[in-house]
């Protein structure tokens, strides 16, 4: 599968202009700090760029801002999630506000998701 050069460039731009919530989440996930799992950020899964991705357990983490609460945003997210799930991936979504204000609750939920996926991974 060839990587789209434009998507790759755009994913690099996104990494350098991350939101506060993405920055915090990356500090918690990077360098196998969370459950010893390797995560990538702003990872290309054609035709999309996902916020965080763990290949080992097939997990995509999406952090959502207010634009995701609009009708168009919800429709786009549903389409995107359907596409990613068709690839056998699990998608979890958290609101930026929750990541920043309720970090422990988000991490507890993420821990639960990762544990379930680790137990079902071959």
% of the chain with per-residue pLDDT over 70: 90
Q: Is the bond preceding 47 in cis, omega lying within 30 degrees of 0? A: yes
pLDDT of residue 68: 63
DSSP category for residue 4: P
Query: How many domains are contained in the chain?
Result: 1
Cα(84)–Cα(58) distance, rounded to whole angstroms? 10
pLDDT digits (tens, 9 = 90+) for 59-115: 999 998 877 667 888 898 999 999 999 999 999 999 999 999 999 999 999 999 999
**Whole-number average pLDDT of the chain:** 90
Query: Which domain covers residue 20, as residue numbers?
Result: 5-120
The CATH number of the domain holding residue 112 is: 3.40.960.10
């Amino acid at each position: 599968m060839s990587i789209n050069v434009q998507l790759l460039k755009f994913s690099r731009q996104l990494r350098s202009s991350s939101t506060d919530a993405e920055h915090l989440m990356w500090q918690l996930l990077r360098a196998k700090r969370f459950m010893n799992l390797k995560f990538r950020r702003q990872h290309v899964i054609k035709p999309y760029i996902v916020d965080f991705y763990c290949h080992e357990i097939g997990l995509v983490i999406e952090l959502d801002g207010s634009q995701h609460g609009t009708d168009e945003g919800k429709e786009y997210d549903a389409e995107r999630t359907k596409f990613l799930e068709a690839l056998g991936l699990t998608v979890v979504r958290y609101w930026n506000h929750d990541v920043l204000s309720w970090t422990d609750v988000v991490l507890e939920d993420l821990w639960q998701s990762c544990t379930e996926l680790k137990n079902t991974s071959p």
